Amino acid sequence: MMNIEKCWKKDAMSYASECYPEESCGIVAKKNNKEIFWKCKNIAHDFKLEAFVIDPNDWIECEDNADEIVGIVHNHPDGELQFSDTDKISCKELDLTFYLVDPISDRMIKIEPKEVKC
Ligand SMILES: [Zn+2]
């Protein structure tokens, strides 16, 4: 499904390894016509959720620094490379492309809001 090698993929992978065993999350943003990966703090633990919640401060900071937010990246440590129902709903709600990375197998999958059937 991935036709082009995303240049930020490496950054997202190494960030996911860095965050292990916790779930990592980040934003894909466009800056000067280039897609970049913006590291975000996962504050899900503050809410005792088994998911990811992007720190709103990181979101604001990213918006201020980049031209446009285009996607969300996260990973499932020790989990399957498969979007959960919560991921799909968030994808649809935020209307952003969702990426799931697995630094161990070096694989990445994505889902578009229009692919989510509710
Ligand atoms: Zn997920």
What's the CA-to-centroid distance between 81 and ligand 1, angstroms? 9
Q: Residues 33-56: pLDDT tens digits?
A: 999 999 999 999 787 777 899 999
CATH number of the domain to which 72 belongs: 3.40.140.10
Residue 51: HSE in the Cβ half-sphere, 13 Å Cα cutoff = 12
**Across 1-14, average pLDDT:** 77
Question: Which domain range does residue 74 map to?
Answer: 3-115
Taking a 5 Å cut-off on Cβ, the residues next to ion ligand 1 are 84, 87
SS3 57: helix
Domain count, the chain: 1
Prediction pTM value:
0.91
- Taking the C-alpha atoms of residue 115 and residue 24, their distance in angstroms, rounded to an integer, is 23
pLDDT of residue 12: 97
pLDDT of residue 47: 77
What's the CA-to-centroid distance between 52 and ligand 1, angstroms? 7
Q: Residues 61-101: pLDDT tens digits?
A: 999 999 999 999 999 998 899 999 999 999 999 999 999 99
**Across 11-19, average pLDDT:** 96
- Backbone dihedral angles phi then psi of residue 21, each to the nearest 5 degrees: -85, 10
Could you tell me which residues are beta bridge partners of residue 34?
31
Using the predicted structure, report yes or no on whether residue 2 has a pLDDT greater than 60: no
Given its phi and psi angles, is residue 60 left (phi above 0), alpha (psi -120 to 50 degrees) or beta?
Answer: alpha
What's the CA-to-centroid distance between 13 and ligand 1, angstroms? 15
